[in-house]
Amino acid sequence: MTARSESLPLRKKRKKGRTPGPVSPGPAEGAAAQAQLPGLRARWRVIAAKEFADHVTSVRFLVVTIVLTLAAAAAVYSTAGGLGGVASDVSGEPSVFLVLFTGQVGDIPRFTNFITFLGPLLGIAFGFDGINGERSEATLPRLLSQPIHRDDVINGKFVAGLAAIGVILLAVIGIVAAIGIIQLGILPSAEDVLRIMVWFIVTLAYIGFWLALALLCSIVLRRAATSALMALSAWLVVTAFLGLIIGMLAGVLSPVPADAGEGSPQARANLAMRVNLGRLAPNQLYEEATRVILDPRQRTVTPGLATDSQVSGAIGGLLSLDQSLLVIWPQFVALIAASAGTFALAYVSFMRQEVRA
């Protein structure tokens, strides 16, 4: 009886007691937990930082930087040498510093032509093995097994490649500016610096298209060599053979009679057809935008299509930066759209692709 009487109160106390359950974290504990784990928006930054570090420490980065720097230095040095004799006479003229980027002396192409021709190679170099390189090393399934979303991988790789390209462009622009200041002794004005910054953004949009195209090839094609060959083939067609193809199409769509003069309506219509078809390629859009941004004297992206009445009625002088931006706004938007559309194709392809260990 004593044992039962002693055990009953204990049982009652146990029944009255509540079983401890999971305790919801408070505001301070929740903030600490979120600080320990990377957020959804920060995970692609981790991948981008790692990819960027791999890019800037690779031999590829060094080789591409040296090649582009040598080409730019040769073009700018020849231009500065040609301007050196008249630097004292034009030191007070506006936008003389920008001639270093757009001027040409001798047979060496101008600096902007080198960027138009070699810029796509930057995007291809940093994107052709972005995904299939991970596949060949069997690190992609291991990477996706981490607590990250799949789109963080491709977002981080694209941002890292674009950041590495931006570092190379900033270094080349700094070298060009240093050569110009040393050779000419002319400092850039505030508007010259702003124009160079706008041109830098347009160049990133232009090269970003080729980076997105190289990433798309690396997703669709399994081998890095095949994706590099495909991206280089597209670059070669656009830069070397597209002008010939456009000329043939313009001749069919808008033919010019044999007896028509150079300034005839048929010839002008054929030229307009060539220009409009050429704008399907990003290099044509980039050349038109660069011409207006770095040369304040340019009042239109197509000076060859301006009529005599328009030229004679135009008010002389230099365009301000905001007016130049209004002129090249369609080209800039088209470059952004081309880069975004190509990256969207790469994004969708990667998200729909099966990844096996």
CA 214 to chain centre: 12
> Is 7 part of a structural domain of the chain?
no
- Cα separation, 207 vs 286, in Å, equals 10
> Is 218 part of a structural domain of the chain?
yes
- pLDDT for 141: 84
**Given a cut of 60, is residue 113 above it in pLDDT?**
yes
> Is 30 part of a structural domain of the chain?
no
**pLDDT, the chain, mean:** 80
> Is 185 part of a structural domain of the chain?
yes
- pLDDT for 35: 39
> Is 33 part of a structural domain of the chain?
no
Task: Please give the torsion angle defined by the CA atoms of residues 272, 274, 280 and 285, in that order, rounded to the nearest 10 degrees.
Answer: -70
- Cα separation, 89 vs 232, in Å, equals 45
CA 168 to chain centre: 12
Helices (H), the chain: 2-16, 27-36, 43-56, 59-84, 99-102, 111-125, 132-136, 140-144, 150-184, 190-220, 224-236, 242-253, 265-278, 282-293, 308-313, 321-352
At residue 275 the predicted structure's pLDDT band, cuts being 50, 70 and 90, is confident
- Cα separation, 115 vs 205, in Å, equals 13
Q: What is the largest CA-CA distance in the chain?
A: 129
Angle between helices 150-184 and 111-125 (to 10 degrees): 150
> Is 307 part of a structural domain of the chain?
no
Residues 140-154: b if buried by 16+ CB within 10 A, e if exposed: beeeeeeebeeebbb
Task: Look at the chain and report how many structural domains it folds into.
Answer: 1
Q: How many residues does the chain have?
A: 357
Residues 185-202: b if buried by 16+ CB within 10 A, e if exposed: ebebeebbeebbebbeeb
**Given a cut of 90, is residue 286 above it in pLDDT?**
yes
Lowest-pLDDT range, 213-222, 229-238, 304-313? 304-313
Domain coverage including residue 183: 43-299+319-352
> Is 311 part of a structural domain of the chain?
no
**Can you give the C-alpha Rg of the chain in angstroms?**
30
**Given a cut of 80, is residue 151 above it in pLDDT?**
yes
> Is 279 part of a structural domain of the chain?
yes
At residue 305 the predicted structure's pLDDT band, cuts being 50, 70 and 90, is low
Contacts of 225 (CB under 8 A, 6+ apart): none
Q: Are 292 and 260 in contact, with CB atoms under 8 Å apart?
A: no
At residue 299 the predicted structure's pLDDT band, cuts being 50, 70 and 90, is confident
